[in-house]
A and B are shown apart, each in its own frame.
With several copies, the nearest count.
Chain A
């Protein structure tokens, strides 16, 4: 008796390009754009230069900050990164924003009042400066990590002379994040299928034991995988495409942004 059943094709959600579950790949947003296609080390240099121009600008020159922000928005658009995504990821900054928000209320020196509240001028400016510069810094890093995979960033840093040993530790780290999350998931499934559900403090002991076991387990898994890599001739460098020399044109393309920022900054100084 051999039955034949028609296949049911069920629909599934479109998850876009989703390769593996690397922590870096998860942050990465696969798009085709100029920003994505720039070599990573060029992007990193551009990001740093832009950042230095921003930080050395005084908050009192608020027009410049508006200009900087528009440059960032422009880059986000060109890189096809949804504003909403950038906004959610920048929430990481919240603790410092809270800190800055408090500043106008405490301090010394010149005061002024808006309605019933008294504010300190110095505190207000410092607060604005921290929020403004911090936000731009965060957004730059977000553009970098959404347009570049973690592995590429690492390769970029390598190109910029980050010491080999640190590159190695970092690439182990990127890989182990998967090992650890994999092992964690395995252990969770194993617990659940034997009737365990962590519901409260009374389960902390089990979770703590499990966490300790997780540490050893992931280490030993990582160790075995590492030895497997050695067995296949690994000597510290993961395979990657041969990097061709970056042309001047590409550098110019990448450095437009920091250059524009610098130009505006200088013009402002001259104009003052």
Chain B
């Protein structure tokens, strides 16, 4: 059988100041799935996401990416995993660091060995996808928030990851960009984990939804079932917007 894209076992984590954010998360995501990761503010979604490529060291529990254990000690393995798992951070300022947008998007592919015309092509394409081509020579920190978010998405797309993890990708995007991003995600043949507070967006894009609450998974089902289970939603500070209905 095919190894699942992601397999998380009993993952627990406390921040250095002692705050425990994850209390034993178990989750399996198969290749090609698109899964929405829902949950109230402070549930631990970002903390979980940061584990998926070894940014937070796994101190308790295990994570497997395409069958390979994420292990902070194993530098080579980590490097490989990081080229497979692309994370779009919740805060674009954490993601962008090069002097120009173009260099920033080129950073990942460059490290993967691309050079010259090939590199150029990847960068141009990624920027075109998110509609930021004309900003190529601008410094990223001189962009509007939504523009920074789009560039952040481009930096990750340019790396062609097999597993794409997006932490609230739609926030601060204008509605058209939001739809365009959905179109991009649908067109890619990758596993997608998307953290979001935007229920309609989750419904539109993901077949399956998982709710993380207070550091554990409390629901894992078809998105439709999750979003129509009123008690479940209410218990986890989730609701559908006024004026919105499923079907």
Residues of A participating in the B interface, judged by any CB pair closer than 8 Å? 1-10, 12, 14-15, 18-22, 25, 175, 178, 182, 186-187, 189-197, 209-210, 212-214, 216-217, 220-221, 224-225, 227-235, 239, 242
Chain A CB within 8 A of B89 CB: yes
Residues of B participating in the A interface, judged by any CB pair closer than 8 Å? 10, 12-14, 16-18, 20, 23-24, 26, 50, 53, 55, 59-60, 75, 79, 82-83, 85-87, 89, 91, 93-100, 103, 106-108, 110-112, 115, 139, 141, 155-156, 159, 215-221, 232
**B93 and A221 form a contact (CB under 8 A):** yes
**B55 and A230 form a contact (CB under 8 A):** yes
**Of the residues A18, A221, A232, A242, contact of B111 by C-beta under 8 Å:** A232
> How distant is the Cα of A221 from the Cα of B92 in the complex, in angstroms?
11
Tell me, rounded to whole Å, the shortest Cβ–Cβ distance linking A97 to chain B.
34
> How distant is the Cα of A233 from the Cα of B18 in the complex, in angstroms?
30
Interface of B is mostly: mixed
Contact A3:B218 (CB < 8 A) given known A8-B10, A190-B94, A194-B155: yes
**B107 and A234 form a contact (CB under 8 A):** yes
What are the residues of chain A within 8 A of B103 when measuring CB–CB? 209, 239
Scoring A12, A217, A231 by chain B CB atoms within 10 A of each residue's CB, the highest score goes to A231
**Of the residues B50, B86, B99, B216, contact of A25 by C-beta under 8 Å:** B99
**A232 and B232 form a contact (CB under 8 A):** no
> How distant is the Cα of A210 from the Cα of B110 in the complex, in angstroms?
15
What are the residues of chain A within 8 A of B50 when measuring CB–CB? 227
Known: A189-B94, A195-B111. 14 other contacts (CB 8 A): A2-B232, A5-B26, A10-B13, A10-B60, A20-B141, A189-B55, A196-B107, A210-B98, A212-B99, A220-B141, A228-B97, A233-B79, A233-B111, A239-B103
> How distant is the Cα of A224 from the Cα of B142 in the complex, in angstroms?
13
Tell me, rounded to whole Å, the shortest Cβ–Cβ distance linking A71 to chain B.
33
**B24 and A8 form a contact (CB under 8 A):** yes
What are the residues of chain B within 8 A of A231 when measuring CB–CB? 53, 55, 82, 85-87
Scoring B17, B95, B106, B215 by chain A CB atoms within 10 A of each residue's CB, the highest score goes to B95
